[in-house]
Structure 1
Amino acid sequence: MPQAKDLQQAGPVMSWTLAGLALSILLPSLGTSIANIGLPTLMEAFGASFQAVQWVVLAYLLAITTLIVGVGRLGDLLGRRRLLLAGIAVFTVASALCGLAPALPLLIAMRAVQGLGAAIMMALAMACVGEAIPRERTGSAMGVLGSMSAIGTALGPALGGVLIAAAGWPAIFLINLPLGALAFVLVYRHLPASAPAAPKDGTGFDVPGTVLLAATLAAYALALTIGRGHFGSLNLALLAGAALGVALFLRVEARAAFPLIRPGMFGDASLRAGLLSSALVATVLMATLVVGPFHLSSALGLNAAAVGLVISMGPLVAALTAAPAGRLVDRLGARPMSLLGLAGIGGACVLLAVLPTQLGVAAYLGPIVILTASYALFQTANNTGVMAGIAPAQRGLVSGMLNLSRNLGLITGTSALGAVFAAGGLHITFAVAAALIGLALAITTLLRSPAGRPAPRGEAP
């Protein structure tokens, strides 16, 4: 049993490697949720309006959304370990500068730089799983990364409140310094180096395509976030600009010598299914975070503390179930677990759409527990299934595309399902959400390859 013995001996090293990758996922999630809790304090500290301080959050999210595909591809070309270390360093230094910022414009600028580091960490941590973790344990590793993302989301509000009360708003950024340093040391010491793509392989970095994609994504994200729920002429102009950007991007990529995203990649039905399903599920998940607080406070009459406790149950359930979900994916396969996760999310949405408000908190919290546990299963299975068929030279790019599909879903969910809730209430919102999950089920059933995976995409047969 030499292979089993070798794997056992490599166990401690592998655990430290996974710990470094897990921290690289935890910190970007924490960077999003911990800043939200600090916005009222920042308004007082800088004497600014809400519209001004909200850019502390928006600058970070826009940087991640617009850059994540490009930095994923750059990692494929330069070496994923090298760029991941650079991303951790950028994130950590930018966090220090955020905490020391004397004025709001500088803080917003440093948050954008922090978002660059976060984009690198999110794109490359997942991509590094394929080369650092044995294939038979990929699902478990993806489950651990999913747990870290959920823990970061759940931990942010509580930790941020404690830090602000104890040491003021700079502490919500300075907390990243020891955590970032630890992540850097773990990745530096334990993650094996990845060979960059060789120029003779016909690879290069597509600067025009990267800039055009970033501008297109920025236009789309701004169209759905500015205006505080009022969709006006500026939003329409930005959406039109995003649509034009998509057309130009496809035209540029079709003619590029080394395209950022080869249009032919989307001929792969499994990749299309994974990306589309990820975006649809993220759209629905965001409804629980955006719609939930309003329903709990206005319809059920809960106070702020009770609302926070109920809302935190979703990320907590996801954190507890992601790792076991990974083990299920390893044993039973990615595709059936993706379908099971989608079925659970869809069933929970139906319950939220039909259960009467008179049943109280239980009628909301019960389905939410089902939904978030099913989301953890789907996310782990979907990420595992997509990344399993990717050639090593494209792992960073496709990991970035997966994260991008999720971010676009979160942005779309905030705007679109928030508008549905404002117009029709909770039951209509989750009826629409159930229809979206039905679409994701159809896509996964019809497009994704059965259990037998093809040869890694991007490699010659």
Structure 2
Amino acid sequence: MMRRVALAASGAAVLLGALDAYVVVGVLTDMVRDLGIAVNKLQEATPIVTGYLLGYVAGMPLLGQLSDRLGRRFVLQVSLLGFLVGSVVTALAADVPLLVAGRVVQGLAGGALLPVTMALVADLWEEHRRSAALGAVGAAQELGSVLGTLYGIGVASLFNALPLFEAWEPQSWRWVFWVNVPLAVIAMVIVQRTVPNTRREVRIDVVGGVLLALALSLLVVALYNPKPEESVLPSWGWPVLGAALVVLVAFFLWERRAAVRLLDSEGVQWLPFWAVLGVSLAAGAALMVTLVDVELFAQTVLRRDSAAAAALLARFLIALPVGAVVGGFLAARLGDRWVSFAGLAIASASYVLIAQWPADVSGFVLTRDLAIAGFGLGLVIAPLSGAVLRVVPSVRHGVASAFVVVARMAGMLVGVAALSAWGLHRFGELTAGLNTPLPFGVEKAEYARQMAEYQRRLTEALLTEYHEIFLITAVICALGALGSVLLPSKRQQTESVSGSLKSTK
């Protein structure tokens, strides 16, 4: 019973961290207005969104390893406290730099919650019963992604509607972060009473963690482009990418020679470990491409407004956590390998269907294809989380879980950047000879005919661009499915590995 309460509290913390990754999207307009940012300079507000992601990705590997050494309860408590402090700083911020600082602190703390909770599941559940619990944690993460924007709008609107807080109307967005304070305190109390205070004699690779965090941070900065309509990468993109590569090389050189490594090679089954990371990378790329390009398809091809485009994407997002829960139950019975294979194979087939959408695609087809894609990608979450814990020693569970999440988010960043670059290139090629008709020197009927022809060719170019992007996404998912074959089999899952790992404890 106590372990279920511990999982519920930790899962709620994961949900809260995931919610705050997207919570500012729905209230960004209010934040911009309150902070005095000009409408024509909205790029100044972009670090508010990316700051959390930067902290989330950068701090996750080292914080995951720290939980192996300092104990799950201690790191969870410190993370929740950091999340609380970051929320207070964000809520009190009077300018963009302080606001971004608060968001980065929130992200650093939130980045530890998911891998530490996954490692906690490994501590508290037997191996053959672990997948369902991991699926629940994965579902909490995905549910936060689904509800983040709506959660922010709902909390701000609630306080805005209360007469007691009418004076705070221009700053109603601040309540989104003030609400985190009591929620974090409640979670800390429950974690203190239910999570075991286990510690292990594990040395920490601070240098390796810092180098990897710096490389990931530089990657996030390099791939973020506030003006994608002008170029694939920002003006600083290539130099920063070069710097990220240099730091990444330095990380691998350090890991080869260091006495203490971020992920010690002793006891690690490297082939399935790299397979898990590769599959996670592929799933992350497919996920982010869907989040970006489905909404763009709705706005540019289907001519829907942003609200209708978001409603269309909800079909995918709702199916994602459903797939995560189902994947957890199936993995416990069928094994990680084939559930992951099936999930990515289903997703690949769905993207082939999405790549055939016409300009007048029906609502039923949209719902069917997006729901199948979301369900397929959701199926993969629990098998990957469980598989990585089976191929590394128990003393490395925290950092191994962090690597899976980092691989997935790296796939999200790199995948959308690469496919967006391809899409922009193809769209430029397809519209190179397409000129906008002008209503001068021609009859009204002729101008209408030219405009209709222009719109038809523009839509065809957009369709070709999206079709190719989704076909490439289908190939990425198919490669991920093939990589899943290298995951542990059902027979390997049922074998005890404790005997071979005793020497590492």
Q: Which amino acid aligns with 2:68?
A: D
Greater mean deviation of Cα atoms: 179-188 or 291-300: 179-188
Give how far 1:80 is off: 1.8
Give the distance between the partners of 1:342 and 1:405, measured in 2 at CA: 16
| Counterpart Cα distance in 2 of 1:247 and 1:262 | 18
1:398-417 alignment runs, 5 A limit: 398-417=400-419
CA RMSD of aligned residues (A): 2.0
Give the match's secondary structure for 1:226.
coil
Supply the AA of the counterpart residue of 1:412: V
Q: Mean alpha-carbon deviation: is it higher for 40-49 or for 139-148?
A: 40-49
CA 1:140–1:449: 2 relative to 1, 3 Å: closer
- Give the direction of change, closer, same or farther, for the CA distance of 1:439–1:100 in structure 2 (3 Å limit): same
Q: Structure 2: state its 5+ residue gaps.
A: 161-171, 428-464
User: Which residue pairs with 1:191 in the alignment?
Assistant: 195
Q: Which amino acid aligns with 2:271?
A: A
1:430 aligned to which of 470, 474, 477? 470
Aligned to 1:284: 286
Is residue 96 of structure 1 aligned with residue 88 of structure 2? Answer: yes
Cα displacement (A) at 1:151: 1.5
Q: Residue 136 and residue 360 in structure 1: after superposition, are their counterparts in 2 closer, same or farther (change >3 A)?
A: same
1:75: Cα distance to partner? 1.2
Distance 1:305 1:217 in 2: 32
- Unaligned ranges ≥5, structure 1: 1-11
Q: Percent identity over the alignment?
A: 26
User: Equivalents in 1 of 2:59, 2:292: separation in Å?
Assistant: 25
Query: What is residue 452 of structure 1 aligned with on the other side?
Result: 491
Q: For 2:147 and 2:488, how far apart are their aligned partners in 1? A: 37
**Equivalent-residue separation in structure 2 for 1:186 and 1:421 (angstroms):** 48
* Contact 1:348/1:368 (8 A) holds in 2: yes
Q: 2:207 corresponds to which residue?
A: 208
After the TM superposition, which residues 313-332 of structure 1 pair with which residues of structure 2 at under 5 Å, given as runs? Answer: 313-332=315-334
Query: Aligned partner of 1:450: which letter?
Result: S
Paired residue for 1:65, among 57, 61, 73?
Answer: 57
CA offsets per residue over residues 135-169 of structure 1, 9 Å max, x none?
23211101111211121112112121122334311
Report SS of the residue matched to 1:359: coil
Partner of 2:99: 107
What is the count of residue pairs matched by the alignment? 444
Q: CA deviation at 1:16?
A: 0.9
Cα 1:227–1:124, aligned 2, differ >3 Å: closer, same or farther? same
Q: Distance in 2 between matches of 1:150 and 1:408?
A: 17
**Would you say the 8 A contact 2:336–2:383 is kept in 1?**
yes
What secondary structure sits across from 2:490 in the alignment?
coil
Deviations 1:96-125 (A, max 9, x none): 221121222111111111111101212211
Q: Deviations over 1:395-431 (max 9, x none)?
A: 1110110111111111123322233343352211111
Specify the alignment match of 2:30 in structure 1.
Answer: 41
Which residue identity is paired with 2:191?
V
Amino acid at match of 2:397: R
- Cross-structure match for 1:31: 20
Partner residue of 2:263? 261
Give CA deviations for 1:250-273 in whole Å, capped at 9, x if unaligned: 111111111113467886111111
**Match 1:182 to one of 179, 182, 186:** 186
Q: State which drifts further: 228-237 or 243-252.
A: 228-237
TM-score w.r.t. structure 1 length? 0.91
Deviations 1:223-264 (A, max 9, x none): 111343232552111111111112111111111111113467
In the other structure, the counterpart of 1:140 is 132
Is the CA contact (8 Å cut-off) linking 1:17 and 1:132 kept in structure 2?
no
1:131 matched to 2:127? The reply is no
Question: In 1, are the aligned partners of 2:91 and 2:175 still within 8 Å (CA)?
Answer: yes
Letter of the 1:438 counterpart = A
